[in-house]
């Protein structure tokens, strides 16, 4: 049937969740995945065409909904999408009885930090530099994270956080720093989620990736900044995702970051600003004119700064906006959680800036566009990678069902044509040739198709080891969902 696909992320080590240093990052890529046969129930296995199967359900796209539809998957990619008609003999059909969406795309995460439980400072801060020097934060998160990375727990931390991402409907993300993994192991890390800045699976082995992720862009040495300017200009680099303006809307230091970035010549097409809480209408209008996007993480913004980006002004200016959860301690456990938070915030506004369809796009087609990958992911369309999310029909409207979904509603997640997570029966129907591991996600039982692991690296040992180590550091392993 189908196996798991390459992925990519970036986080931080040493100075808070936002301390990733791309200058030290190695661009890595794993080999492309092999696809195995999917047997139709009525045909003997040895007569089944390799690598061809169909999902049936209600397809929800950026512009339309097809009530009774088929998504035909051939290898790693979508072969066709359209109204249901029975496929040819030997093609496996998986009846979802649910909503079928493009997989969600998370452009802002700090993966290895997601093993920690929620953290509240009991106050808000003027900017990120303040809370990153706050003693309770250092004790609860920064020091334990550093010690766990130093002691070689990075791979297990990433594995746990990856399941969190899948539970939140994510198929692609940025947020795993190679420096968080044991030295020399980054190239052999086997992911289930697509890591679009580390190893997207879009290009031949050894080819450079086209998405870069910077946490402290103003601290970059000039040679690295010059490299980014050149690569963005000649389109060798399609996207540069950078944290900026992360603080109160009236904080002078946060406001000034935009001016500094402009002075360094980095306001270029392909750049997207993460957070942007301190940005205002004039900056958003300039961003739109220059082709610069915004990545919005409202929950963490409110937790840390008591405010979020002026998202209405950004929308009015025509800025392309994606939504992302940031990290579990102050943001959401996954992208479904962040969508629900944003939908609740949106409904509370005197004039809601978004409808449910707009929020759907902010988790699918818009982040694909900001990553320069909308010709590969972010939609259900022939020729794109088969990165797919299936949800239960908890609401009659497909867009509202996504924006108000809970992890229990996640019936199936497919990455590069391979089912990797979901309800047990549906997961096994989609991928009967693999060993599925049953796990508990909140009140729901789910199954995960983990890549083969060495003895002692199974899910039970991974979670037990993480919880034991966190306990010695005065913490505990966070639940997969709140």
Question: pLDDT (tens digit, 9 = 90+) per residue, 201-232?
Answer: 999 888 899 999 999 899 999 999 999 999 99
Q: Which fold has domain 22-31+105-370?
A: TIM Barrel (3.20.20)
pLDDT at 190 over 80: no
Grade residue 186 by pLDDT with cuts at 50, 70 and 90.
low
Average pLDDT over residues 153-168: 96
What is the residue-averaged pLDDT of the chain? 89
Question: Do the Cβ atoms of 31 and 189 come closer than 8 Å?
Answer: no
397-433 pLDDT, tens digit each? 999 999 999 999 999 999 999 999 999 999 999 999 8
**Residue 422's closest CA among 381, 389, 463?**
389
Separation between Cα atoms, residue 133 and residue 92, nearest integer Å: 55
Residue owning tokens 């946490």: 215
CB 166 within 8 A of CB 335: no
Q: Where are the domains of the chain?
A: 22-31+105-370
Question: What's the mean pLDDT in 65-82?
Answer: 97
DSSP assignment of 288-307 equals HHHT-EEEE-HHHHHHHHS-
Q: Which residues contact 133 (CB under 8 A, 6 or more apart)?
A: none
Q: Which two tokens stand for residue 246?
A: 């992360």
Are 383 and 79 in contact by the 8 Å Cβ rule? The answer is no
Q: Give the span between the Cα atoms of 174 and 283, in whole angstroms.
A: 25
Higher pLDDT, 87 or 454: 87
pLDDT in tens, 104-130: 999 999 999 999 999 999 999 999 999
């Amino acid at each position: 049937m189908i196996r798991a696909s390459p992925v990519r992320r970036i986080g931080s080590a040493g100075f808070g969740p936002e301390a990733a240093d791309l200058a030290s990052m190695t661009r890595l890529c794993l080999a492309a995945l092999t696809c195995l046969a999917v047997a139709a129930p009525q045909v003997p296995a040895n007569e089944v065409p390799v690598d061809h199967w169909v999902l049936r359900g209600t397809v929800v796209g950026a512009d339309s909904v097809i009530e009774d539809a088929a998504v035909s998957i051939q290898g790693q990619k979508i072969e066709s999408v359209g109204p249901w008609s029975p496929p040819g003999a030997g093609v496996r059909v998986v009846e979802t009885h649910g909503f079928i969406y493009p997989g969600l795309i998370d452009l802002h995460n700090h993966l290895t930090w997601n093993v920690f439980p929620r953290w509240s400072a009991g106050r808000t801060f003027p900017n990120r530099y303040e809370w990153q020097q706050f003693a309770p934060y250092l004790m609860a998160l920064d020091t334990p994270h550093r010690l766990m990375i130093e002691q070689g727990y990075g791979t297990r931390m990433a594995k746990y956080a990856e399941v969190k991402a899948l539970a939140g409907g994510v198929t692609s993300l940025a947020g795993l720093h190679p420096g968080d993994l044991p030295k020399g192991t980054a190239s052999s890390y086997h992911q289930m989620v697509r890591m679009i800045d580390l190893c997207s699976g879009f290009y031949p082995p050894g080819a450079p990736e086209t998405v870069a992720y910077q946490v402290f862009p103003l601290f970059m040495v000039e040679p690295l900044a010059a490299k980014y300017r050149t690569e963005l200009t000649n389109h060798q680099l399609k996207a540069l995702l950078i944290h900026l303006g992360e603080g109160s809307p009236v904080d002078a230091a946060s406001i000034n970051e935009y001016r500094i970035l402009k002075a360094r010549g980095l306001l270029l097409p392909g750049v997207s600003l993460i957070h942007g809480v301190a940005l205002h209408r004039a900056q958003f209008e300039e961003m739109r004119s220059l082709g610069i996007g915004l990545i919005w993480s409202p929950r963490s913004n409110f937790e840390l700064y008591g405010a979020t980006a002026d998202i209405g002004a950004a929308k009015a200016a025509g800025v392309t906006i994606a939504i992302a959860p940031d990290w579990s301690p102050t943001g959401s456990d996954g992208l479904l959680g962040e969508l629900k938070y944003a939908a609740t915030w949106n409904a509370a506004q005197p004039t809601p800036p978004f409808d449910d369809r707009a929020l759907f796009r902010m988790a699918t087609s818009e982040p694909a566009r900001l990553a320069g990958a909308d010709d590969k992911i972010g939609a259900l369309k022939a020729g794109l990678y088969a990165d797919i999310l299936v949800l239960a029909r908890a609401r009659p409207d497909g867009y509202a069902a996504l924006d108000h979904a809970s992890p229990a509603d996640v019936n199936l997640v497919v990455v590069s044509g391979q089912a990797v997570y979901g309800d047990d029966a549906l997961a096994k129907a989609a991928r009967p040739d693999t060993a599925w591991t049953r796990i508990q996600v909140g009140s729901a039982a789910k199954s995960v198709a983990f890549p083969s692991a060495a003895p002692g690296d199974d899910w039970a040992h991974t979670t037990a080891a993480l919880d034991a180590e966190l306990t010695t550091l005065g913490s505990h392993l966070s639940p997969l969902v709140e």
